[in-house]
Chains A and B, each alone.
Chain A
Amino acid sequence: MTESIIEVRDLWFSFNGQPVLRNVNLTVPQGDFLVVIGPNGGGKTTLLKVMLGLLKPDRGTVSVFGLPPHRAAHHIGYVPQNVHVNKTFPISVLDVVLMGRLRPGRGWPRHSRQDRDAARKALEQMRVWEYRDRRIGELSGGQLQRVFIARALVGKPQVLFLDEAMASIDAQSRGEFYEILTELNRSVTIVAVSHDMMILSNHVKSVACINRELHHHNSGSITQEMLDEAYHCPVDLVAHGIPHRVLECHKDK
């Protein structure tokens, strides 16, 4: 593959003395569509936040485009897990998206024409431009998710982090949502975490399982050993990556 854009080396992270991540190593190449799955409390969101620079690891290094994460922030788009925060906040959809254009140390000159054009493009791309003047609390979960992805895209990131992106989307919209992600993946590297293995589809290029420790498989397929190690119990439903999509039932051993 092409050059790697995210390098995680010997990463350890603990919260209140409880180990959350143990000796995690991960390399994400440019153009990847990586899905990190694992049980609740397995450290998925923590790993994402460490890669974003929101949490500091105990040991180990993270580099994004060869920089420490907080210095690479302008290359990163982030869609948080909970899109339902602050729903009564008096803010329009457009203003939420414009937040993604903020740069430090910039006061008075408001959002420029370029900012507004970029916001329009991102909202149109996510097919929610018609809601731009709505108050954020008026949108449904699926619409909110699109707005938050638009906010992540408006800064023209080279890598997009999605935390439980499917949680707010109903089953019918998932297909369409995947089309959008696949289209984005042509130019943007995607890293998504989920506890729900339904997120695996034939568009996903590689899969990692995490439960304190990380098991990475960069071929887009997932093995029984990975699941056993990650979940510590047999799991049904295994999706296979490109070029085939295989669902097979694994019996208890």
Chain B
Amino acid sequence: MWEALQTDFIRNALAAGVLVSIVCGIIGTLVVVNRIVFLAGGIAHAAYGGIGLAFFLGWPYVAGTTAVSLLSAGIMAAVTIKAKHRADAMVGVLWAVGMALGVILLDLSPGYNADLMSYLFGSILTVPASDLWQMGLLGIAVIAVVAWYYNDFLAMSYDDEFARLRNVPVTFLYCLLLGMIALAVVMIIRVVGLILVIALLTIPPFIAEKFTGSLRGMMMLSSVLSCLFTVVGFGVSYALNLTSGATIILVAAAGFFLAVLWDRWRHRRRRKTGKTGPADPIEGAQG
């Protein structure tokens, strides 16, 4: 394993995994607490249309995918703000249409053998150094934006009606969040695939939510867990010669079930010792 770390592509892969984890930890936390996992999935899958478009027109990958991803995020923002009660159905439509367009555009692209797998599960081993720079810049931008608007994002996520009353620009922040999701998705698909985007956006924040008391803590713990899953999953993939995206997801899933079991055990024990805990709102009610 140690001699493996000497090679450039392994180091690039690990660096990419860490950068993706930081971005996913922060964005994923906001996605989970705002209950827009399905919407984020829609943006990620619609981005597939952008991959097709890029190949069809001979554009660079980033240009085509960013354009389509931001466009679909914009449509979804408009739809979910205007017609909230049917938003999930509209997201489903965009999700499917984006993927179908991607497949057809790839069919029509001359002389291109579409390697679907590499975009579904990514190709972390072939990340070039130039992508690392882009990911690093995106990571810094995401951290800066979320830090600046932290209190506003917190208020919007917890109680958007009250946030509006305090004149927090809720609609602007919501569009900003969808825009950040779109950009993150473009960057991350290249490296780990769009299936892994969803996994890393949801699994670590879901675990972290149980063990932290603040949104800030949830973001940090999510990023750390995400790093852990990515690095361990990558190690397993290297040792057993398996597809890295899939092993990373299975490691994350294993972590997820362990966390759920631990959380249950923790509460059972707390109940036995007579203390009330976070998941016992009814028993905790005295007053």
Contact = CB atoms under 8 A, between A and B. Distances in A.
A96 B158 contact: yes
Interface string B30-52: 00010000000000000000000
Contacts of B284: 138-140
Interface in A108-140: 108, 110-111, 133, 135, 137-140
A92 B213 contact: yes
Nearest to A131: B287
Contacts, number: 101
A138 B147 contact: no
A85 B159 contact: yes
Interface in A53-108: 53-54, 70, 73-74, 76, 78, 80, 85-92, 95-96, 98-100, 102-104, 106-108
A39 interface: no
Nearest to A53: B165
A141 B284 CA distance: 10
A86 B154 CA distance: 12
Contact of A138 (B154, B159, B168, B276): B276
For B148, B217, B281, the residue with the greatest tally of chain A CB atoms inside 10 Å of its CB is B281
A89 B158 contact: yes
Contact of B163 (A52, A88, A102, A140): A102
A104 B168 contact: yes
Contact of B213 (A52, A73, A80, A90): A90
B165 A99 contact: no
A220 B36 CA distance: 46
B107 interface: no
A85 B157 CA distance: 11
A10 B278 CA distance: 48
A138 B281 contact: yes
B171 interface: no
Contacts of B214: 90-92, 95
A73 B151 contact: no
A143 interface: yes
Contact of B155 (A78, A90, A102, A143): A102
A142 interface: yes
B169 A104 contact: yes
A107 B279 CA distance: 33
Interface in B133-172: 147-149, 151-152, 154-155, 157-159, 161-169
Interface in B255-287: 276-279, 281, 284-287
Contacts of B167: 70, 73-74, 102-104
B159 A99 contact: yes
B196 interface: no
Contacts of B168: 102, 104
A133 to B, nearest CB: 8
B287 A142 contact: yes
A108 B163 CA distance: 17
Contacts of A76: 165
B162 A87 contact: no
Contacts of B166: 73, 99-100, 102-104, 155
Contacts of B287: 140, 142-143, 173
Contacts of B212: 90
Given A90-B215, A107-B149, A138-B281, A99 B169 contact: no
Q: Of residues A53, A102, A142, which shows the largest number of chain B Cβ atoms within 10 Å of its Cβ?
A: A102
B173 to A, nearest CB: 11
Contacts of B26: none
A91 B215 contact: yes
B95 to A, nearest CB: 26
A184 to B, nearest CB: 19
B281 A87 contact: yes
Interface in B79-116: none
- 8 cross-chain pairs, A with B, having the tightest CB-CB distances, nearest first: A140-B285, A104-B167, A107-B148, A102-B166, A99-B155, A138-B284, A90-B218, A143-B287
12 contacts: A73-B167, A87-B281, A90-B217, A95-B154, A96-B158, A99-B151, A103-B167, A104-B168, A137-B278, A138-B284, A142-B285, A143-B285
Given A90-B209, A91-B215, A133-B213, 7 more contacts: A52-B165, A90-B33, A92-B213, A108-B147, A137-B281, A139-B284, A140-B286
Interface of A: 52-54, 70, 73-74, 76, 78, 80, 85-92, 95-96, 98-100, 102-104, 106-108, 110-111, 133, 135, 137-143, 151, 155, 173
